[in-house]
Structure 1
Amino acid sequence: KRRSRIGWSSRITENAKRTGVVYLGGGVPKNFIQQTAVIASYQTRHDRSHNYAVQITTDSPHWGGLSGGTFEEAQSWGKIHRRAGKVTCFADATIALPIIVHALSEKFKRLRREVPIFEWGKNGELKLRYETMRL
């Protein structure tokens, strides 16, 4: 059975305990990930807003485009949870992302956490399990 990409991603959002998003820039990719929360909430009748959000962008909110859109705007549509942990970094992603990843890998060298493992069945059902891994 063939499913759309948005169908697959919204199923992941439906079945996850908590979700987080990282936006590099904006536009269509940002909208695609944001709408998974809205679709998952509609399909399950439960709030499936993203719990964590990071945005790295060079665009400013005052131009009105999605690339510079604020998390407050996303919260008004139910895309980001109203109590979500969120941060926006106004910088070029090719500069900011390597610095952020390096800093996080240094800070959490010994951290162990549950990582989601997604398994798709032949009939399109999603099985989600977690494995403890060292980062």
Structure 2
Amino acid sequence: MSWVFWAFLSAIFAAATAVLAKVGVEKIDSNLATAIRTSVVVVFAWGIALAFDAHHGIGQISRRGWIFLALSGLGTGLSWLCYFRALSLGPVSGVAPIDKLSVAIVILCGWIFFGEAMTPAKLIGGGLVTAGALVIAFA
């Protein structure tokens, strides 16, 4: 299966996450909700890694790999803390689209840091994603 298949599945699960989290964060501290969600993710992710024998590769991870995975984890944690706080304060139909502005930011980062092509289609698409997210969030 191609990356497109997995990306669509990711979008479906991300949508489910937003809807389920909005209900789950009601009447509890958003930081506690994030901690609970993160604990479930840790158990689930290690379960998958163990089930598929992926854990054997842990010794082959470079120092650089560890550093960047740790930084990515910090970014994820900060994103989730902010996301759950936003969900506790605002409508899911507004929070989720603003969160997806990350798409436009990633397009820029791909161009700046990885030399990915900044084509007219990517510029237009990134602009449309940005405009669409803002229209949906604030309409």
- Relative to the length of structure 2, the TM-score reads 0.30
TM-score (norm 1): 0.31
Identify which of structures 1 and 2 has the higher relative contact order when contacts are C-alpha pairs closer than 8 Å and 6+ apart.
2
Larger Rg: 2
* Bigger share in helix: 2
